[in-house]
Structure 1
């Protein structure tokens, strides 16, 4: 999961997390605690004056476009600051998720890491004192004006007092990429079946039967890695109420034992029963499914924009991408997404100011243009995005991002919801796909994880409310 307009005016409507409480240093006031780099002009730390520094960086940008832009930006940063050597460890999302906490608590923790937002990772790391707050740096580097508050808020954590929660509090990361779960399509496969790119949700679902009858696999999909189904299910659930889905993930709303959940689960099982998805989906890896799609086996695939560069490299102009089509032509689209994993500075870094300067470089306007040139969606697109052909795959991706953010059509990833929700949801979806549970049982399984956790959170906050 890597991922997420003309800049702030359109993005400011996205995600509706709510304003964060004021925290010390968010306006750039106050000295930066700790650090090894003497300051530059206007109080901005200057890595060139830090002496010889080895910056240990752990990330999960292993795919074509994101790997390429990180490699280019790392090279440029080291050329700008010859005294800084970046020692990069790049792992898949699953491997990073499995090994990061051990690395952070070890004897030689990295200086910079990518941490997944939400309770399972970022909140847990903050609670354990493993990440450094970045509020002072946000003021010094003007992240507060470069980024809309709604995006910054997804990297905030409250870890003081009786309760802990994400979406408010101090800033513990900044994200480089925007991302959303989109509907990718192979134009050549659609044409061969006499299908036009759908304008509405009904046209999309109707096209699945047409494609099946024409001998094409309607939707390529692999869930051996467990997490891909979270994105597919989340996108389906969003069609039944994106605001409610968002509120539930962020600790409000009506939970998961709802008609919204059961309808989305029923759609997924219906697609399986009708042969719109591969029969062996639980035994097919995510990367293998994407390779099959790139080889013409599948008219559509539902995945995130982190796959854009790889898909485009193979399919070229035969690749198309759109948000999941709205209920009516010209209506507001909705889907799962927001931004990629946050880049964070570890609490025991020996070079926190150099690390913060590195984060600022990775998220600069120049970095946004480098991302665009590599087929990666920046959280805040720059000039290079404006120059894209609007009908090209990259132009379609940026247009979709603008449409989604303007429509306030993004819901956070489901695994943010509780400390154990990633494991609960991925296992429950595998059981749903395998036919070992039905939509109602699936909904109850999610609520059994979510309800008690949210009830405790609300009790700690003194609200007196309880989850359903």
Structure 2
């Protein structure tokens, strides 16, 4: 049995598989992007050969096995298509990218294309500082607004001053879709006499059973900080529901001290105190935790679909994946699109940079992503994910979350400082240095300060 996806079936994936690659030229600001201006003096064009020999410097955070392989392949293919362009790739971990990108963007030798994280902390701050330029002027040529659903594309939109997220100019295009879900070791689950959970309630009930069987329930390492966002976010999404959790992130309702947030924090702390998490987890790197899970240490692992290729390669048929159903009876979890491929304000090669963004996000790139074990936003026509495989589980979970309105934006999008606040607070929570009430008050104080400044 197979789960089949075409470019028409999924709400989130159902995109027109064709792009407008017409070699044309127009003046900046003439696209359907609301009169956005480029920061470059050259006319908008797809005639990359006319640029002569150039070097395009591209910064990405595609360090995981599958997406790294895809990026290397796509860069080679891009240079074959445009032999006058040499791609100079700089690849950094997500956390390294967060700490170094702003300095790089503001320097004299800024890269041409970067991957920018959505939300206020990164993309919003870069837009406010005029470090990125809108890609709307190239939309007429490449057709991004026709290819992507408006709700997904809105994750890469900001007002020109960087103060209003999900509206205004388009500042990037994403290649991959992603959700945070629950990986599980099928062999160890069978050893514990359990079936794979489908809901957060079933997962919670499985934890003491796994522990009683002498197995580590949840593999986890938070030295890199971002895993804390993922595990707490997945728990909050299922506990509060997509609507309430999404309202918190977007600032359209609720408070970070609401009962569901406190309940989620209480549960996460209990996982630590009941030793459902490994000892010393705050000092364990994410890659090490993933490797330990792949080696049979831990029955469950909360992580993103970006680990598909790594875990499928290491575990084969022994690993499964599910987006847990939450309080609303449907799969609800963190997710959306991968980091946006964006054009820097200081690039001297804007047309080549826009061509690169289109090349690594179009339908043909989707096939490369599938072939390397990744989850593309645009699936190739007729794509089939084999049932019972990790790829099939991921594709089915992605469709289930997206079709039923279960996607919650990443929690760190909430304010410019929320990433540091939340990641530090999660470490204190699971380390026993803060109560759930103190944890939620810390989050609310950050959010309130952001709102007051606006």
**Could you tell me the TM-score, scaled by structure 2's length?**
0.91
**SS of 1:85's equivalent?**
strand
**Superposition CA RMSD, Å:** 2.2
Equivalent residue, structure 1, for 2:153: 152
* Superposed displacement of residue 277, structure 1: 1.1
Partner of 2:174 in structure 1? 175
Deviation at 1:30, TM superposition (A): 7.5
Which runs of 5 or more residues in structure 1 are unaligned?
A: 15-22, 458-468
1:131 aligns with 132
**Is the contact made by 2:102 and 2:126 (CA closer than 8 Å) also made in structure 1?**
yes
CA contact (8 A) 1:26 1:144 kept: no
Separation in 1, partners of 2:11, 2:231: 24
- Is residue 100 of structure 2 the alignment partner of residue 99 of structure 1? yes
Contact persistence 1:369–1:383 (CA under 8 A) = no
1:240-271 deviation per Cα after TM superposition (whole angstroms, max 9, x unaligned) = 22111111211211120111110100110111
Compute the displacement of 1:28 (Å).
Answer: 7.2
| CA deviation after TM superposition for structure 1 residue 26, in Å | 4.7
Q: Secondary structure at the match of 1:383?
A: coil
Q: Which residue of 2 aligns with 1:229?
A: 228
Moved more, 448-457 or 125-134: 448-457
What is the TM-score with the length of structure 1 in the denominator? Answer: 0.89
SS of 2:133's partner is coil
Cα distance in 2 for residues equivalent to 1:338 and 1:306: 12
Pair 52,196 (structure 1): closer, same or farther in 2 beyond 3 Å: same
Q: Describe the SS at the equivalent of 1:282.
A: helix
Would the alpha carbon gap of residues 442 and 326 (structure 1) be closer, same or farther in structure 2, given more than 3 Å must change? closer
1:199 & 1:413 partners in 2: Cα distance? 22
2:24 aligns to what? none
Residue number in structure 1 paired with 2:20? none
The 1:127/1:37 distance shift into structure 2, 3 A limit, reads closer
2:330 to 329, 332, 337: 332
Change (3 A) 1:424 1:301: same
Q: Kindly state the Cα deviation for residue 12 of structure 1 after the two structures are TM-superposed.
A: 5.4
Q: CA 1:378–1:337 in 2, change beyond 3 Å: closer, same or farther?
A: same
* Partner deviation per Cα, 1:142-166 (whole Å, 9 max, x = no partner): 1001000111111011134xx8121
| Partner residue in 2 for 1:342 | 340
> What are the residue-to-residue correspondences of 1:9-408 with 2, within 5 Å?
10-11=10-11, 25-27=30-32, 33=38, 45-160=46-161, 164-239=163-238, 240-326=240-326, 331-383=329-381, 386-408=383-405
Query: Which runs of 5 or more structure 2 residues have no equivalent in the other structure?
Result: 15-27
Aligned pair partner of 1:433 in 414, 430, 433? 430
How far the C-alpha of 1:27 sits from its partner, in A, is 2.6
Partners of 1:37 and 1:64 in 2: CA distance = 37
CA–CA distance in structure 2, aligned partners of residues 279 and 209 of structure 1: 17
CA 1:137/1:285 → structure 2, altered by over 3 Å: closer, same or farther?
same
Q: Spell out, residue by residue over 1:313-351, the C-alpha distance to the aligned partner (whole angstroms, 9 max, x if none).
A: 1001111011024458xx411001111111100111111
Q: 1:6 to 1:106 in 2, by over 3 A?
A: same
Q: Secondary structure at the match of 2:439?
A: helix
CA contact (8 A) 1:257 1:444 kept: yes
Q: State the distance in 2 between where 1:296 and 1:132 align.
A: 46
Which is further off, 45-54 or 107-116?
A: 45-54
CA contact (8 A) 2:38 2:134 kept: no
Report the alpha carbon displacement of residue 452 of structure 1 after superposing the two structures with TM: 2.3
**What is the distance in 2 between the residues matched to 1:9 and 1:34?**
38
Deviation, 1:125, is 0.8
Looking at structure 2, the residues matched to 284 and 261 of structure 1 have their Cα atoms a distance apart, in angstroms, of 25
- Contact kept in structure 2, 1:132 and 1:172, CA below 8 Å: yes
Aligned-partner Cα distance in 1 for 2:336–2:134: 21
